Amino acid sequence: MNALPRHIAIIMDGNGRWAKRRLLPRAMGHRAGMKRMMELVDRTFSMGIGCCTVFALSHENFLRPKEELEELFGLFREYFSSETASLKERGISLKIIGDRGPLPADIRALIASAEEDTADGTRGKLAIAIGYGGRQDIVAACNRLVGKGEPVTEQTFRETLSTGTMPELDLLIRTGNEMRLSNFLLYESAYAELWFSEKMFPDFTVRDLEEAIDDYRKRERRFGRL
Ligand code: FPP
Q: Which runs of E-coded beta strand occur in the chain?
A: 7-11, 51-58, 92-97, 124-132, 171-174, 193-196
Q: Is residue 206 part of a domain?
A: yes
Ligand 1 atom closest to the Cα of residue 80 is: 15
Provide CB contacts within 8 A for 9, sequence distance 6+: 52, 53, 54, 55, 169, 171, 172, 173, 184, 185, 188, 192
Ligand 1 atom closest to the Cα of residue 34 is: 11
CA of 161 to the centre of ligand 1 (A): 23
Q: Is residue 1 part of a domain?
A: no
**For position 12, which CATH number holds?**
3.40.1180.10
Identity of residue 208: D
CA of 139 to the centre of ligand 1 (A): 25
CA-based radius of gyration for the chain:
17
Strand partners, 171: 8, 193
Q: Is residue 177 part of a domain?
A: yes
Domain span including residue 59: 7-217
Q: Is residue 222 part of a domain?
A: no
Q: Is residue 197 part of a domain?
A: yes
Domain count, the chain: 1
Q: Is residue 42 part of a domain?
A: yes
Per-residue pLDDT of the chain (226 residues; tens, 9 = 90+): 999 999 999 999 999 999 999 999 999 999 999 999 999 999 999 999 999 999 999 999 999 999 999 999 999 999 999 999 999 999 999 999 999 999 999 999 999 999 999 999 999 999 999 999 999 999 999 999 998 987 899 999 999 999 999 999 999 999 999 999 999 999 999 999 999 999 999 999 999 999 999 999 999 988 888 7
Q: Is residue 225 part of a domain?
A: no
Q: Is residue 184 part of a domain?
A: yes
